[in-house]
């Protein structure tokens, strides 16, 4: 008795994206933990996964990877463009630490926040709960004199998000490297590009050509994920829409730095299935994160997320 054998006629029939094949998902999640780094035919030759024993190790390695990209660009005298998330967050503390230890300036760094909470018109949230405030508090302000110049910082407002493609293209034309930093959502979204959007398009190519979306509708499980991870369980505080970048910007990255740290406590977690789907499902627009292994980069993950993904009756 499982999901597939009981879903018909239940409240969950039709709840998940129509492109999700739960037999295939189950097969993705059934592998032994040590098989998670086993290369797949669709992986980019320069994509790989990095196991982390705990959150502390995860934060340090992610932070070092970000800081090292900035250090290399400074040494090479070239511009660097980041697409940045708010989550994972512990990495920013360590990125700041390494940049200060190395005395590396971010003057040649441009940053584009990948998303922001919004209402139905695309008006973005302000104040303590905003992603802009989170970035300033965790990354920009602690860097002090080494920080990213204010006019190099971009946030996903309805006025500025449509300018992202042109701004990024201009920087790349000047030789800038584009680096995507990301986390993986419970619904396998990157940024807030939800899996349900895939059904709107006739082909992956058409879907891949979308640079952003204003006021995207969030899947209920995305709202619940954020209620648990960011709003102390208060679903009533979570906006139901957001502005977000799309595949055209995300998957044009020259390099990607990703993280999966979705463990809770007492052996519970929320991200193991999403991690295995990302690595094993194969490119599919109903599983946005499944395109991540097709571009160069590193995906850092907590060891316990690899499983085994079986019931814990202890």
Where does residue 167 rank: exposed (0-12), middle (13-18), buried (19+ CB within 10 A)? middle
50 φ, ψ (degrees, to nearest 5): -130, 115
Q: What is the pLDDT of residue 311?
A: 84
Indicate if the alpha-carbon torsion angle 95, 162, 156, 235 is positive or negative: negative
What CATH number matches the domain at 46-303, 3.40.50.1360, 2.30.40.10, 2.102.10.10, 3.40.250.10? 3.40.50.1360
Q: What is the pLDDT of residue 4?
A: 93
Q: What is the pLDDT of residue 167?
A: 98
- Residue extents of the structural domains in the chain: 46-303
Q: What is the pLDDT of residue 312?
A: 75
Q: What is the pLDDT of residue 74?
A: 97
Whole-Å CA distances, 71 to 27, 95, 212, 232: 41, 11, 29, 36
Q: The pTM is what?
A: 0.97
Q: What is the pLDDT of residue 134?
A: 96
Q: What is the pLDDT of residue 314?
A: 61
Q: In which residue ranges of the chain is pLDDT below 70?
A: 313-314
Where does residue 205 rank: exposed (0-12), middle (13-18), buried (19+ CB within 10 A)? exposed
Q: What is the pLDDT of residue 60?
A: 98
């Amino acid at each position: 008795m499982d999901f597939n054998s009981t879903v018909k006629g239940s409240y969950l029939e039709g709840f998940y994206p129509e492109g999700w094949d739960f037999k295939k998902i189950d097969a993705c999640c059934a592998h032994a933990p040590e098989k998670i780094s086993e290369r797949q035919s669709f992986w980019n030759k320069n994509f790989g996964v990095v196991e982390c024993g705990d959150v502390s190790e995860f934060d340090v390695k992610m932070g070092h990877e970000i800081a090292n990209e900035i250090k290399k660009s400074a040494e090479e005298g070239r511009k660097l463009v980041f697409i940045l998330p708010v989550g994972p967050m512990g990495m920013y503390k360590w990125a700041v630490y390494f940049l200060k230890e190395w005395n590396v300036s971010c003057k040649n760094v441009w940053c584009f926040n990948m998303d922001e909470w919004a209402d139905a018109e695309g008006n973005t949230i302000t104040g303590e709960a905003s992603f802009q405030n989170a970035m300033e508090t965790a990354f920009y302000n602690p860097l002090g004199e080494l920080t990213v110049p204010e006019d190099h910082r971009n946030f996903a407002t309805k006025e500025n998000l449509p300018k992202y493609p042109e701004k990024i293209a201009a920087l790349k034309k000047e030789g800038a490297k584009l680096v995507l930093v990301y986390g993986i959502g419970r619904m396998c979204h990157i940024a807030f590009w939800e899996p349900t959007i895939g059904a709107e398009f006739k082909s992956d190519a058409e879907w891949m050509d979308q640079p952003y979306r204003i006021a995207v509708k969030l899947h209920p499980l995305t709202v619940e994920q954020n209620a648990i991870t960011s709003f102390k369980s208060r679903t009533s505080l979570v906006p139901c829409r957001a502005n977000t970048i799309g595949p055209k910007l995300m998957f044009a990255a020259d390099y990607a730095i990703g993280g999966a740290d979705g463990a809770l406590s007492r052996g519970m977690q929320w991200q193991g299935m999403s991690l295995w789907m990302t690595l094993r499902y194969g490119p599919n627009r109903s599983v946005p994160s499944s395109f991540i292994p097709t571009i160069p980069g590193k995906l850092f993950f907590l060891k316990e997320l690899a499983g085994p993904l079986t019931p814990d009756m202890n």
